[in-house]
């Protein structure tokens, strides 16, 4: 037996070594000594880590499938499952891991923490008013700029006039989420005050306040992921599939990006999944459960008037389910309907006391005569617009779910497989998804200045649950390869966007009918002079720049994925070539990534400076463009530029200036220098780079320069007479000396 185990372990050495081959791509970093147009370490690290993890998983899966019951591998795997994957332990691990992941993400330790922006400061201002003033009148709060406690800069008002006239303005956002944040806001402010006093650093209070609020939202998101895992396990009767579905749901867009943001979509998702999980998974409901379910449904309008449609849908589903169970009698009827009537009454009274009428659109209109109309202009009742909006929420390159999380393309096969398996419990979920998706398709609501996917975020967990059905019952060698490839790409997109949060935010998406622009920041940043990815994804929300053609290919791919997941597996034996195909796939993908990275240069917009012998090409949007003889960088963001000359240069001089002290790091080719600015040493510094390495291209030479400032400032804070509210980093001027040789 011992000899058999030794032989088996020796046989594993070669396949294990094969699964480590993506790490060899890290050795290609030596090319940085020859090519300086891009820093490729980040891409190499991403490809190597994801590729190694994917192939290790493929190797162990193939090994377990092909091992006999009495083999060493099979015994160890069973022992691991019995020890770690017990239902109760697995459930606890899921909850703790979810909370740990989102807390770490919110901390900004690994990825940069995005500042409070979009609708977030407006929700927090309501919370501040509830704590400081005891009301929701925001007139004095906007006037006194109370938002400076958590938001840097001027904040445009989201308040509307009330019926009492001047001095009474109320937010267009409902008070449900702000009220929910009162405890964490109070704790964060008190804790931040103590820490900032002890550290003699006033900025610490704002940092701790924001982090406390982020953690509270992360806790709600972790609870959502935990209940989703329980729901998926009950639906599929397969814990491994539930764990994989939880992993995908937790770590892919859009949930991971909203896990710490101050938006009502996460609480709405949590309430809905709790209500439906309790109703659909329990054959008998206690009287107290009737009360909690009713309270959950009653809370929806307080999170946003758009969620009234969810209250109606949930009320119908819950009522039918309870009626069929025969429990809708006597006390239960009272416990079920009392919270609904009380909450509805209070909500109508809230509207009447603020605006003098009970129409929910008053939140957006303010105090106006009813003759101005009941419906907001964001509504439309046109069939073609209905389908355009519905497709936009799924496929559009700026607001769609699929372009940022390709793995969700398999949710439709999941629905078809659930129908095939006659899982009747999923029908209410499908009904809610269609109801809410249809309602959203009747309005122009793109989400505003926030990450994509916000509109359908409350029902995203339903799509993920259908995806779990595809993972459970759509297994064949084709579908497994597809799902792994889509997951690989989805995680890569999350990594890129988490590293550069600005790629998720698009201006003017709050405008109705015709928002400006047509292309996503992500696709624009990944496109260059050779590859244009912007034409590969549909752009549907701008009437003047609709790009329909890519939609045909996406729908074709959608259909092909459905076919592959519904295809029956004809092979009865384990697929021995799975590991080889995995190695080949990772090798090809890695090679494509590396080739793309080497040629990732942008030469489409040239900036010519008078009396300077070079042309400047900005490689990103981390600067504010050409100004006078140079340019300003954006805060702490690293800005890459290419300098193109007709002949080689002997020296490059980079002059830096700023009205505030700081530290700047400049990299020209292989050489990197850091300079400190202070009142004593001077706020203007010049760095010299001798004999920089240039890259020959089309009769000229390209020189790469990266500028990274460690801080930033708002001009209007230094001089109240200045209206410039940009976050500036460092002003850069470049000069070159031509090589006379």
Domain shared by 694 and 593, yes or no? no
Which residue is it, tokens 């988490």? 498
| Residue whose C-alpha is closest to residue 591's, from 15, 33, 60, 40 | 40
Q: How many whole angstroms separate alpha carbon 248 and alpha carbon 302?
A: 30
Domain shared by 611 and 732, yes or no? yes
Q: Within a domain: residue 366?
A: no
Number of domains, the chain = 3
Give the Cα-Cα-Cα angle 177, 378, 405 (nearest 5 degrees).
65
Domain shared by 668 and 594, yes or no? no
Q: How many whole angstroms separate alpha carbon 411 and alpha carbon 426?
A: 13
Contact 656, 677 (CB under 8 A): yes
Q: Identify the CATH number of the domain in which residue 611 sits.
A: 2.60.120
Contact 525, 500 (CB under 8 A): yes
The kind and range of the H/E element at 555 are helix 549-566
Domain shared by 633 and 662, yes or no? yes
DSSP state of 541: S
Contact 470, 565 (CB under 8 A): yes
Domain shared by 586 and 638, yes or no? no
Give, to the nearest 10 degrees, the angle between helix 87-107 and helix 72-84. Answer: 80
3-class secondary structure, 322: helix
- pLDDT of 283 reads 67
For residue 702, the cross-strand partners are 644, 695
The token pair at 122 is 């407006």
Q: How many whole angstroms separate alpha carbon 726 and alpha carbon 547?
A: 33
Residue after which a domain boundary falls, among 185, 201, 217: 201
- Backbone φ and ψ of 340, nearest 5°: -65, -45
- pLDDT of 527 reads 82
Q: How many whole angstroms separate alpha carbon 615 and alpha carbon 434?
A: 53
Is-cis flag, bond preceding 122, omega within 30?
no
Q: Which residues lie below 8 Å from residue 141, measured CB to CB, with a gap of 6+?
A: 125, 128, 129, 133, 147
Contact 180, 307 (CB under 8 A): no
- Backbone φ and ψ of 715, nearest 5°: -55, -35
- Residues in the chain, how many? 741
Contact 581, 481 (CB under 8 A): yes
Q: How many whole angstroms separate alpha carbon 72 and alpha carbon 14?
A: 17
Domain shared by 131 and 77, yes or no? no
Please, what is the end-to-end C-alpha distance for the chain in angstroms? Answer: 76
Q: Within a domain: residue 156?
A: yes
3-class secondary structure, 619: coil
List pLDDT tens digits, range 216-243.
Answer: 999 999 999 999 999 999 999 999 899 9
| Residue whose C-alpha is closest to residue 729's, from 677, 679, 682 | 677
Residue after which a domain boundary falls, among 156, 172, 201: 201
- pLDDT of 573 reads 47
The token pair at 111 is 């990825």
For residue 671, the cross-strand partners are 668
Q: Within a domain: residue 676?
A: yes
Domain shared by 616 and 589, yes or no? no
Domain shared by 636 and 716, yes or no? yes
Domain shared by 142 and 41, yes or no? no
DSSP state of 618: E
Q: Within a domain: residue 143?
A: yes
- What residues make up the domain containing 129? 116-201
- pLDDT of 399 reads 93
Q: How many whole angstroms separate alpha carbon 392 and alpha carbon 550?
A: 13
Q: Within a domain: residue 438?
A: no
Domain shared by 46 and 9, yes or no? yes
Domain shared by 40 and 158, yes or no? no
DSSP string, 474-504: --SHHHHHHHHHHHHHHHHHHHHHHHSGGGG
- pLDDT of 572 reads 43
The kind and range of the H/E element at 73 are helix 72-84
Q: How many whole angstroms separate alpha carbon 322 and alpha carbon 59?
A: 48
Q: How many whole angstroms separate alpha carbon 586 and alpha carbon 579?
A: 11
Contact 738, 649 (CB under 8 A): yes
Domain shared by 619 and 698, yes or no? yes
The residues of the chain scoring below 70 in pLDDT are 1-45, 63-85, 283, 325-330, 368-377, 510-517, 569-579, 598, 740-741
Q: Within a domain: residue 485?
A: no
3-class secondary structure, 624: strand
| Residue whose C-alpha is closest to residue 620's, from 644, 638, 647, 643 | 638
DSSP string, 687-736: EEEES---EEETTEEEEEEEEEES--B-HHHH-TT------EEEEEEEEE
- pLDDT of 188 reads 93
- Backbone φ and ψ of 213, nearest 5°: -65, -40
Residue after which a domain boundary falls, among 567, 599, 631: 599
Q: Within a domain: residue 253?
A: no
Q: Within a domain: residue 126?
A: yes
């Amino acid at each position: 037996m011992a000899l058999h185990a030794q032989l088996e372990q020796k046989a594993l050495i070669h396949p294990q070594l094969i699964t480590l081959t993506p790490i060899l791509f890290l050795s290609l970093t030596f090319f940085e000594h020859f090519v300086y147009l891009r820093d490729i370490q980040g891409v190499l690290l991403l490809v190597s880590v994801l590729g190694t993890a994917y192939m290790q998983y493929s190797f162990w899966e193939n090994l377990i499938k092909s091992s006999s019951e009495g083999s060493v591998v099979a015994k160890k795997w069973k022992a691991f499952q019995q020890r770690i994957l017990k239902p109760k332990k697995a459930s606890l691990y899921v909850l703790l891991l979810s909370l740990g992941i989102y807390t770490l993400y919110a901390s900004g330790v690994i990825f940069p923490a995005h500042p409070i922006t979009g609708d977030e400061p407006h929700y927090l201002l309501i919370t501040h008013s509830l704590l400081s003033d005891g009301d929701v009148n925001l007139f004095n709060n906007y006037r006194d700029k109370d938002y400076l406690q958590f938001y840097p800069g001027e904040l445009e008002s989201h308040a509307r006039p009330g019926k009492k006239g001047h001095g009474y303005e109320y937010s267009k956002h409902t008070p449900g989420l702000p009220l929910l944040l009162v405890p964490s806001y109070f704790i964060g402010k008190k804790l931040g005050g103590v820490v900032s006093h002890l550290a003699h650093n006033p900025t610490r209070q704002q940092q701790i306040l924001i982090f406390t609020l982020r953690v509270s939202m992360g806790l709600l998101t972790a609870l959502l992921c935990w209940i989703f895992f329980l729901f998926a396990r009950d639906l599929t009767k397969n814990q491994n599939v539930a764990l994989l579905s939880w992993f995908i749901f937790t770590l892919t867009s859009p949930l991971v990006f909203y896990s710490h943001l101050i938006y009502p979509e996460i609480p709405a998702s949590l309430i809905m999944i709790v209500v439906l999980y309790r109703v659909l998974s329990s054959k008998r409901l206690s009287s107290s459960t009737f009360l909690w379910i009713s309270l959950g449904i009653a809370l929806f309008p307080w999170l946003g008037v758009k969620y009234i449609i969810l209250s109606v849908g949930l009320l119908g589903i819950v009522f039918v389910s309870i009626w069929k169970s025969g429990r809708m009698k006597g006390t239960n009827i009272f416990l079920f309907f009392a919270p609904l009537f009380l909450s509805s009454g209070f909500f109508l009274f809230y509207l009447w006391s603020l605006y003098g009428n009970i129409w929910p659109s008053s939140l957006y209109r303010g105090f106006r005569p009813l003759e101005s109309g009941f419906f907001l202009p964001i509504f439309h009742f046109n069939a073609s617009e209905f389908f355009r909006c519905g497709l936009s929420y799924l496929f559009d390159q700026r607001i769609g779910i699929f372009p940022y999380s390709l793995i969700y393309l398999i949710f439709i096969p999941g629905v078809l497989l659930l129908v095939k398996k006659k899982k009747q419990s999923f029908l209410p979920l499908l009904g809610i998804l269609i109801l809410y998706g249809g309602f959203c398709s009747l309005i122009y609501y793109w989400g505003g200045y926030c990450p994509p996917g916000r509109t359908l975020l409350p029902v995203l967990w339903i799509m993920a649950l259908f995806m779990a059905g595809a993972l459970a019952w759509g297994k064949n060698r084709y579908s497994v390869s597809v799902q792994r490839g889509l997951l690989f790409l989805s995680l890569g997109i999350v990594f890129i966007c988490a590293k550069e949060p600005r790629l998720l935010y698009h201006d003017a998406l709050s405008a109705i009918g015709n928002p400006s622009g047509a292309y996503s920041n992500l696709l624009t940043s990944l496109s260059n002079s050779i590859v244009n990815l912007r034409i590969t994804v549909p752009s549907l929300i701008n009437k003047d720049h609709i790009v329909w053609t890519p939609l045909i290919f996406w729908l074709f791919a959608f259909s092909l994925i459905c076919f592959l997941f519904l295809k029956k597996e004809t092979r009865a034996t384990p697929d021995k070539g799975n590991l080889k195909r995995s190695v080949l796939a990772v090798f090809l993908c890695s090679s494509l990534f590396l080739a793309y990275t080497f040629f990732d240069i942008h030469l489409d917009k040239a900036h010519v400076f008078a009396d300077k012998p070079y042309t400047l090409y900005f490689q990103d949007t981390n600067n504010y463009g050409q100004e006078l003889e140079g340019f300003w960088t954006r805060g702490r963001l690293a800005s890459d530029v290419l300098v193109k000359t007709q002949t080689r240069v002997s020296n490059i001089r980079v002059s830096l200036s700023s009205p505030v002290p700081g530290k700047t790091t400049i990299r020209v080719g292989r050489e990197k220098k850091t300079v400190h600015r202070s009142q004593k040493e001077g706020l203007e510094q010049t760095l010299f780079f001798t004999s920089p390495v240039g890259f020959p291209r089309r009769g000229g030479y390209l020189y790469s320069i990266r500028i990274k400032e460690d801080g930033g400032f708002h001009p209007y804070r230094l001089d109240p007479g200045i209206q410039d509210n940009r976050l500036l980093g460092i002003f850069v001027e470049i000069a070159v000396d031509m090589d006379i040789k």
